[in-house]
Structure 1
Amino acid sequence: MFHVENYSGSKEQNYELLIKQLRALLEGESNTIANLSNASALLNQFLDEINWVGFYLTEGQELVLGPFQGLPACVRIPYGRGVCGTSAKEERTLRVADVHEFPGHIACDAASQSEIVIPLIKKGQVIGVLDIDSPIKNRFDQEDENMLNQFTKALVEYL
């Protein structure tokens, strides 16, 4: 039985524990939907001051809503549009301190103030993105970005 440990270390130690828990959850499971569902639930439980966490999966030249935790969300996002579509098209992590200053931001939840989007890259292809929204400005720092990049690299191994 999987159980959640206490996150009582430094921010980096807590993220390392989170990645260890992710690997334990996904070990031996190859179903993408199951693995993304557990990954979004794990992040939702781990991260504070967020209002949405989940995945969009590549389908042609757009992203389609995948497993998530939070309010209902936009279903399809064209590559190059909004934070998610731009991250996918440019194949890079985008950390946005104030979403209202991001050109073409797509507001699925009006409460969102800041956002981080990490592309999921497997065999040189963007297969989707991890999207995390926060109701406070400037929620995500460089350490969050670094550790969430490590989290997604570990996740992609199981997809």
Structure 2
Amino acid sequence: MDSGFRRNDGRGASPLAPSAAISYIAAMYSFDITADTKAELYRDLAAALDSLTADEPDAIANMANVSALIGQYLPDLNWAGFYRNVKDELVLGPFQGKAACIRIPFGKGVCGAAAATRETQLVEDVHAFPGHIACDAASRSELVVPIVHQGELLGVLDLDSPLRARFDAGDAAGCEALMRILAPRIA
């Protein structure tokens, strides 16, 4: 009986049992990220991000996998995702978390500030940030990293946490490094 699953490993297509196909697929994207320090965590995330996106030309697929990777391995997040620059407006892209604001004008809120200035925004207490846009009332701190490739703003990475002061300079530097890897793969 044909299971409908196929593998092409250079020896020709052969049927796989459904459970074998699922195991095969899961094994392709299994990462061993068990870092003891923040620097090690971001190093491991960079290697995983590079592996996930290196051969994929689709920007949305790459952003979806990266938001899942970050959401899975960075602790204490309640939202991890992307806003894309569409005609000088931020438009919701792939994310992990609760439903979010769909459009954000440049200069509005933390994401809009990052887009307008092209500078990382590290906010210890979002309730103290002038003009903060509260998509999730549980969010207390936020980190937004602009994604720039060859001088063009592609969008922003947005991370929210229910903990006040969750993010620090190490997170900012780590996420900036991740976005430097991702930028040419979503351009």
TM-score bracket, normalised by the shorter chain, equals over 0.9
Alpha-carbon separation, structure 2, partners of 1:77 and 1:153 = 23
Structure 1: 5+ residue stretches without partners: none
CA apart distance, 1:47 = 0.7
Match among 20, 33, 50 for residue 77 of structure 2: 50
Per the alignment, residue 25 of structure 1 pairs with 52
Match among 107, 129, 144 for residue 134 of structure 2: 107
Per the alignment, residue 142 of structure 1 pairs with 169
Matched, 1:66 2:93: yes
Alpha-carbon separation, structure 1, partners of 2:101 and 2:113 = 15
Alpha-carbon separation, structure 2, partners of 1:111 and 1:30 = 35
Rg bigger for which structure?
Answer: 2
Compute the TM-score of the two structures, normalised by the length of structure 1: 0.98
Give the number of equivalent residue pairs.
159
Alpha-carbon separation, structure 2, partners of 1:24 and 1:61 = 30
Q: Which runs of 4+ in 1 moved over 3 A?
A: none
Pick 1 or 2: higher relative contact order, CA cutoff 8 A, min separation 6: 1
Match among 10, 14, 21 for residue 37 of structure 2: 10
Offset from partner CA, 1:57-116 (integer Å, 9 cap, x none): 001121000000000000000000000001000000000000001000000000000000
CA apart distance, 1:31 = 0.1
Compute the TM-score of the two structures, normalised by the length of structure 2: 0.83
Offset from partner CA, 1:26-47 (integer Å, 9 cap, x none): 1111100000000000000111
Per the alignment, residue 155 of structure 1 pairs with 182
Structure 2: 5+ residue stretches without partners: 1-27
